Structure 1
Amino acid sequence: MTESKSSGNAIKNIMSSFSDFSMTQPDSSEGHLPGLFSSLSSENQSKALHLASKIDVSRYDYVLNFGSEVQEALKTFSHNLLVQVQRNDTSPIREVLHKLMEQLEKINPDDLIENSKGFFSKLFSRRKSTIQETMSQYNRLSKQIDRLSIQLQHAQKGLILDMNMLDELFRLNEDYFHHISVFIAAGELKLMDLKKNDYTKLLNKVEQSKDDPMAKQKLSDLLMSIEWLDRKIYELQISREIAIQSAPQIRLMQQTNQMLIEKIQSSIMTTIPLWQSQISILINLNNQRRANMMQERLMNASDEMIRKNAKMLKSTANDSNRKTISHADIDVFKQTQLQLIESIEETLRVQATSNEQQTALESKLLEIDQK
């Protein structure tokens, strides 16, 4: 920012040297005005006229240095723009965004409900530590995503600062464009005046006094001066073209930065909270599904026990001579009882885990809401 300000001050110092111009407004009825001069504002036309009146084509060093102050300032500006382009490397930001997407894609919400071979299904397929493993995986990914979010926030602040710097560079580039246009217009005015007036006068003088070698030399010197000035104008036009080409380059960098700023904003404010909310809800839904499955198993075990009890009672009624219960009957009863106890214990574990998970879910959603 300091370098851009110094470049701007250089231009201001150059243009502040303009005072009341002494060259009169050219008469457009006597010939066509230079196109660039006609496109200038009234204020810049006055400055161009003043500059044209000060051009001393008899001095090579004056013509050589004409407009050099603006060219030097433009050179400094081009250097600052190059530095900004080198700083504007967005590949690290894109890498962070890719890492964020990789973390989000590690858990596919559809796999939890639809795909029995999905990530969560593999975790939930085991009866022990399923919920704990799932939450551990979720918490690890969540922390990684939080770290990526912090990196994106820092990157976003840097991009906004770069946007402000590019705005300043664009303004300076516009100033250079207008100022160098004034110098070109002044040179074209002087060139037109030399060709139309000075050259015509000297040519007539040479024709009238063909034996005067000094008149021929003055005409030759004037033609050389015209050539100097013409080359200088061409050089200034190249500098002006640099300013013209710099404008869309600056805007292109700004558009790239703006796109990344919006992507980062969307990731931080929308994608990440949505992912956290969605995964929490899906984990809770999976817990409810497991609880329903355990309850169904308990009901099936109860029905099976009732059927076996009925069968055992029927067998007892038909065998009135039996005085004791057979070992087979005892084994059947023990097996049924163990199945029932296991089903009840599993149901209690699932329900307890579901309650813990529900509490954790509520805390997580509250934390997201407070963010």
Structure 2
Amino acid sequence: MSDELTKATTAPTPARVQELAGSIDLADPGTILRFGAEAQNRAAAAADAMLGAARNPATGEAGEALSGLLDTLRGFDVTKLSEKPGLVGRLLGRGQKQVTTIMHRYETVRGQIEAIGDKLDGHRTHLLEDVERLERLYLATLDWFHALAEHIAAGETVLARTDNEVIPAALREAESAPGTLAAQRLADLRGARDELDRRVHDLRLTRQVAMQSLPALRLIQENDKALAAKIHSVLANTVPLWRTQLAQALAIQRMRDAGAAVRSATDLTNKLLTANAETLRAANAEARTELERGVFDLDAVKQANAALVATLEDTLRIAAEGRATRQNATKELALAEQQIRKALTDTRDARLHGG
């Protein structure tokens, strides 16, 4: 912008200055009143354009929408997923519930962000259009500034010629011919000269306004460009980064859940290994105990031996009792046989004697 201001303050084109100076006729007050009027009228147009740019509602709406988007992103804190849940949280399954809650909230917030993003993209388009309009207005204001500078140079040229040539000549004419209209012509000439001087002064003030408009236009333009760039940065960087952060947080949470599942499986495996080892130890001890006992226990052998001895004793006792019984039976049978024989003998003798 400093280079443009330097160009704006360079000397006007001599040919154009001479052309404008030729349009001034001190004998015709209308030429003085009209001198630079067209260039000054551009001031009103430039002022209206600057006021419209400064009061552009798109800029304020874009700023509000951008602030709303950033507040929405800040309000959706995905970093809590990275916090390791405590013992109670793990027991209650809070990690998975938190992921589900975050995903539900993400679906809601995503819609809000997309709506705000579409609105911001529209604002960005309007801002870029404003930047182009402001550029055209800046160039027009620069041309306006040059035009004022040319009018001022032309007026100063006429004033210098009037002061150095025209008024001295009229003064000499009035002094050489007193009592004629030359004095009145001198007075009119001086009045027209002063009117032109005031007109040139007004043009200088207008040129100052034009010079002040140039940096003001650039400032508004730079603000619009900065806001448009900020909107682009948020839409191109902040929102995708936020989504990436959410994806990473969810991936970390799922990785943590997977780690917990692997840890549980490992704990179960270790528990099973320990239980199997204890079972093997108990079974091995029982088996080795049985193996080391031998075929028969000593107590069982003793008990069996005692039972065998008792059995033999019982056998001998029963055999002895049997022999005694048989002997008694033999005696009884012999006695019975004798009794039968005697009875038979007695019966036979009785028949013989009786018969």
The one of 242, 246, 249 aligned to 2:213 = 246
Could you say if the C-alpha distance between residues 150 and 285 of structure 1 is closer, same or farther in structure 2, counting changes exceeding 3 Å?
same
The 5 A counterparts of 1:130-145 are 130-145=98-113
- What is the one-letter code of the residue matched to 2:174? V
Could you say if the C-alpha distance between residues 83 and 128 of structure 1 is closer, same or farther in structure 2, counting changes exceeding 3 Å?
closer
Deviates more, 1:285-294 or 1:84-93: 84-93
The one of 137, 147, 158 aligned to 1:190 = 158
Please list the CA deviations of residues 309-330 of structure 1 after superposition, one character each: whole Å capped at 9, or x if unmatched. 8889999999xxxxxxxxxxxx
- What is the one-letter code of the residue matched to 2:116? L
Q: Secondary structure at the match of 2:166?
A: helix
**Aligned-partner Cα distance in 2 for 1:96–1:114:** 31
Q: Secondary structure at the match of 2:55?
A: helix
The 5 A counterparts of 1:1-371 are 39-41=11-13, 45-87=14-56, 90-114=59-83, 116=85, 126=94, 129-209=97-177, 211-212=178-179, 214-300=181-267, 303=270
| TM-score calculated relative to the size of structure 2 | 0.68
Consecutive unaligned residues in structure 2, runs of 5 or more? 1-7, 286-355
**Aligned-partner Cα distance in 1 for 2:189–2:84:** 90
Shift of 1:234: 0.7
Q: Which has the larger radius of gyration?
A: 2
The question of whether the paired residues in 2 share the 8 Å contact of 1:88 and 1:162 is answered with: no
- What is the one-letter code of the residue matched to 1:48? V
Please list the CA deviations of residues 329-360 of structure 1 after superposition, one character each: whole Å capped at 9, or x if unmatched. xxxxxxxxxxxxxxxxxxxxxxxxxxxxxxxx
The question of whether the paired residues in 1 share the 8 Å contact of 2:36 and 2:148 is answered with: yes
Comparing both structures, which one devotes a greater share of its residues to helix?
Answer: 2
- What is the one-letter code of the residue matched to 1:52? A
- What is the one-letter code of the residue matched to 2:29? Y
Shift of 1:297: 3.3
**Aligned-partner Cα distance in 2 for 1:91–1:297:** 56
The question of whether the paired residues in 2 share the 8 Å contact of 1:51 and 1:186 is answered with: yes
- What is the one-letter code of the residue matched to 1:231? R
Could you say if the C-alpha distance between residues 193 and 128 of structure 1 is closer, same or farther in structure 2, counting changes exceeding 3 Å?
closer
**Aligned-partner Cα distance in 2 for 1:37–1:157:** 34
Partner of residue 4, structure 2: none
The question of whether the paired residues in 2 share the 8 Å contact of 1:37 and 1:185 is answered with: no
Q: Secondary structure at the match of 2:72?
A: helix
Consecutive unaligned residues in structure 1, runs of 5 or more? 1-35, 319-371
Q: Secondary structure at the match of 2:160?
A: helix
Report the RMSD for the aligned CA atoms in angstroms: 3.2
- What is the one-letter code of the residue matched to 1:70? A
Shift of 1:195: 0.7
> What is the aligned-residue identity percentage?
25
Aligned residues: 276
Shift of 1:157: 0.6
Q: Secondary structure at the match of 1:39?
A: coil
Shift of 1:89: 5.3
Could you say if the C-alpha distance between residues 102 and 198 of structure 1 is closer, same or farther in structure 2, counting changes exceeding 3 Å?
same
Q: Secondary structure at the match of 1:40?
A: coil
Q: Secondary structure at the match of 2:118?
A: helix
The question of whether the paired residues in 2 share the 8 Å contact of 1:70 and 1:180 is answered with: yes
The question of whether the paired residues in 1 share the 8 Å contact of 2:23 and 2:31 is answered with: no
Shift of 1:48: 1.6
Could you say if the C-alpha distance between residues 193 and 146 of structure 1 is closer, same or farther in structure 2, counting changes exceeding 3 Å?
same
**Aligned-partner Cα distance in 2 for 1:243–1:77:** 8
Please list the CA deviations of residues 216-271 of structure 1 after superposition, one character each: whole Å capped at 9, or x if unmatched. 32222221111111011111111111211111111111111111111111111122
| TM-score calculated relative to the size of structure 1 | 0.65
**Aligned-partner Cα distance in 1 for 2:141–2:85:** 61
The question of whether the paired residues in 2 share the 8 Å contact of 1:173 and 1:247 is answered with: yes
The question of whether the paired residues in 1 share the 8 Å contact of 2:81 and 2:99 is answered with: no
**Aligned-partner Cα distance in 2 for 1:158–1:188:** 44
Partner of residue 329, structure 1: none
Deviates more, 1:267-276 or 1:226-235: 267-276
Could you say if the C-alpha distance between residues 38 and 130 of structure 1 is closer, same or farther in structure 2, counting changes exceeding 3 Å?
closer
Q: Secondary structure at the match of 1:198?
A: helix
Shift of 1:205: 2.9
Instruction: Identify which of structures 1 and 2 has the higher relative contact order when contacts are C-alpha pairs closer than 8 Å and 6+ apart.
Output: 2
Partner of residue 337, structure 1: none
